């Protein structure tokens, strides 16, 4: 066939729409969307065919070639003609639409070994939290309704009692995230006045959250005291003035200054603040309710320890070491929390029902006998190397079933080091287990890109020593099969590369 014949054989849009192959598409997408997609695909084909170079290929029929003569309408290779029939066009349009309309926010397999990975969504929720979110979100709920009285109530009541029980605080308040919690505290407690902070704590938390900036934003004048490595109690005391509204302590979540260092202990700092009748505010960041240190994991202070030391207001995240939904939690003295509950800003920072459902359920998990098995973050942080080894071997066993596709890849179960992440416990190295993958066909960068682009669920791995490492500490139970399937897909694409 020459170009004119091929172009004449292109089906019209209405024929494509009426074809039986297009039926599924019309159930999946609005008909205008399908019509436009067919039109665009036909236009692409026309342009492609017209731009084809003249063929000297023996496949092409001599007579047609002589007859047409002119280059721009010259013969067309056989395979092009096979791409213009109705099933082929519908198939391609189906693939294009599927790609275009696929959700952007979707699951991935985290094999980085970073447990609280902010870019990958921080804390996976517990079964109880998931169930509660579904139940509360799929219908109506008691969000702001008191059932016994049949009266209006506040969304802030649902989790307050539990948070107070677990932290020893008098009152609690939940907002959208910890950055918002810090902002609310500074605004309510110190706007127009001064807040004193140690120079060793003027940190950047990430995502443009810097302590000096957030102070300025909330209209609070920052008074820096001490030095980067040493701040003493009398540095704070000398900075006190009539304009001082708040003593601020920021937990340096994501870094540590080690060596020649000094910071006053919390009890002394609280006593100093109270002597001047000023509240002490601590931004704890991660906010552990579970005593990780007692389990030999780092030295993270618990929220309860801060309250017990006399801190008046503590803020922390709901989706870091607590292992729940994105939220910022403010706990402390009732008189201060009550003031924040009346702040007009709270309306803009209030959490939604799904957050509250997930948070309350996670708090229930914390109060039950086995938080370290029920809450995914706690489970991942405390899982033993023996258990991890078993899970890595389970994946290796599953890979056996795909052996024929995995000839271009080498797998090895190795010791590895996982991280807590989320700016928490930066020095803690969790002994872990990884599957190391290497290939003679492609380098580690290509291999990790192939893993990220597998058809089902992207696999996010780590590259080290020119190999790809899959740390199983962050592989959730039940994901072993998906991982093995993804690896088989990558193996298959490498083998078929070889064949073509």
Ligand X SMILES: *Cc1c(COP(=O)(O)O)cnc(C)c1O
Site string for ligand X, 403-442 (x = CB under 6 A): --------------------x-------------------
Which residue in the shown chain puts its C-beta closest to ligand X? Answer: 285
Q: Indicate which single residue of 132, 178, 198, 218 sits in contact with ligand X (rule: CB under 6 A).
A: 178
∠ CA 189-195-197, nearest 5°, is 130
Q: Considering the rule CB under 6 A, would residue 282 count as an interface residue with ligand X?
A: no
Residue list 204-263, contact with ligand X (CB under 6 A)? 205, 209, 250-251, 253
For 148, residues 6+ apart whose C-beta sits below 8 A from its C-beta are none
* Choices 92-100, 177-185, 232-240, 467-475 (CB under 6 A): range interacting with ligand X: 177-185
Q: Considering the rule CB under 6 A, would residue 201 count as an interface residue with ligand X?
A: no
Distance between CA atoms of residues 57 and 76, nearest Å: 10
Q: Considering the rule CB under 6 A, would residue 177 count as an interface residue with ligand X?
A: yes
Q: Indicate which single residue of 75, 113, 279, 285 sits in contact with ligand X (rule: CB under 6 A).
A: 285
Residue list 295-354, contact with ligand X (CB under 6 A)? 317, 328
Where would I find the H helices in 104-196?
Answer: 127-137, 157-167, 178-190
Site string for ligand X, 67-106 (x = CB under 6 A): ----------------------------------------
∠ CA 435-436-442, nearest 5°, is 135
Smallest distance, ligand X to C-beta of residue 320, A = 6
Where would I find the H helices in 102-240?
Answer: 127-137, 157-167, 178-190, 211-217, 233-239
Smallest distance, ligand X to C-beta of residue 301, A = 12
Residue list 180-199, contact with ligand X (CB under 6 A)? 182
Q: What is the CA radius of gyration of the chain?
A: 31
User: Which of residues 423 and 486 has its CB atom nearest to ligand X in the complex?
Assistant: 423
Q: Which residue has the tokens 């721009």?
A: 72
User: Which of residues 6 and 129 has its CB atom nearest to ligand X in the complex?
Assistant: 129
User: Which of residues 235 and 283 has its CB atom nearest to ligand X in the complex?
Assistant: 283
User: Which of residues 204 and 221 has its CB atom nearest to ligand X in the complex?
Assistant: 204
Distance between CA atoms of residues 442 and 308, nearest Å: 56
The pair of structure tokens assigned to 236 is 């704070």
User: Which of residues 115 and 467 has its CB atom nearest to ligand X in the complex?
Assistant: 115
Identify which of 369, 372, 374 has the alpha carbon closest to the alpha carbon of residue 296. 372
Half-sphere exposure at residue 383, Cβ-oriented, CA atoms within 13 angstroms: 29
Report how many residues bind ligand X under the rule CB under 6 A: 15
**Which class for 288: exposed (0-12), middle (13-18), buried (19 or more C-beta within 10 A)?**
buried
Binding site residues, ligand X, CB under 6 A: 177-179, 182, 205, 209, 250-251, 253, 283, 285-286, 317, 328, 423
């Amino acid at each position: 066939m020459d170009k004119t014949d091929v172009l004449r054989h292109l089906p019209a849009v209405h024929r494509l729409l009426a074809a039986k192959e297009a039926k599924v598409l019309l159930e999946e997408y609005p008909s205008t969307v399908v019509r436009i997609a067919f039109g665009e695909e036909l236009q692409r084909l026309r342009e492609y065919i017209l731009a084809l170079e003249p063929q000297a290929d023996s496949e092409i029929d001599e007579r047609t070639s002589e007859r047409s003569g002119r280059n721009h309408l010259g013969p067309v290779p056989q395979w092009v003609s096979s791409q213009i029939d109705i099933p082929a066009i519908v198939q391609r349009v189906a693939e294009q639409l599927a790609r275009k309309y696929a959700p952007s926010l979707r699951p991935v397999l985290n094999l980085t070994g970073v447990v609280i990975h902010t870019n990958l969504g921080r804390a996976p929720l517990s079964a109880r939290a998931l169930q509660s979110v579904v139940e509360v979100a799929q219908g109506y709920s008691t969000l702001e309704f008191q059932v016994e009285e049949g009266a209006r109530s506040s969304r802030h009541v649902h989790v307050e009692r539990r948070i107070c029980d677990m932290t020893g605080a008098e009152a609690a308040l939940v907002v959208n995230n910890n950055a918002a919690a810090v902002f609310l505290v500074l605004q309510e407690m110190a706007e127009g006045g001064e807040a004193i902070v140690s120079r060793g704590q003027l940190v950047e938390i990430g995502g443009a959250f810097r302590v000096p900036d957030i102070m300025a934003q909330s209209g609070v004048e920052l008074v820096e005291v001490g030095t980067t490595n040493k701040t003493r109690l009398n540095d704070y005391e000398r900075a006190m003035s009539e304009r001082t509204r708040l003593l601020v302590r920021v937990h340096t979540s994501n870094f540590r200054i080690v060596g020649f260092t000094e910071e006053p202990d919390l009890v002394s700092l609280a006593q100093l603040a109270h002597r001047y009748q000023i509240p002490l505010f601590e931004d704890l960041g991660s906010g552990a309710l579970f005593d990780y240190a007692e389990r030999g994991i780092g030295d993270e202070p618990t929220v309860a320890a801060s309250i017990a030391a006399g801190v008046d207001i503590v803020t922390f995240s709901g989706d870091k070491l607590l292992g729940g939904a994105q939220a910022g939690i403010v706990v402390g003295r009732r008189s201060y929390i009550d003031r924040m509950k009346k702040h007009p800003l709270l309306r803009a920072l209030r959490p939604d029902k799904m957050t509250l459902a997930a948070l309350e359920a996670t708090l229930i998990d914390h109060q039950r006998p086995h938080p370290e098995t029920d809450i995914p973050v706690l489970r991942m942080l405390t899982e033993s190397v023996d258990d991890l080894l078993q899970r890595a071997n389970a994946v290796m066993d599953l890979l056996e079933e795909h052996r024929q596709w995995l000839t271009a890849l080498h797998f090895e179960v190795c010791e590895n080091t996982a991280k807590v992440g989320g700016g928490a416990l930066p020095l803690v190295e969790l002994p872990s287990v990884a599957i190391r993958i290497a290939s003679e066909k492609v380098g580690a960068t290509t291999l990790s890109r192939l893993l990220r682009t597998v058809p089902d669920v992207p696999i996010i791995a780590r590259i080290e020593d020119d190999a790809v490492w899959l740390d199983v500490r962050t592989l959730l139970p039940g994901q072993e099969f998906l991982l093995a399937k993804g690896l088989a897909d990558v193996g298959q694409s490498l083998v078929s590369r070889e064949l073509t």
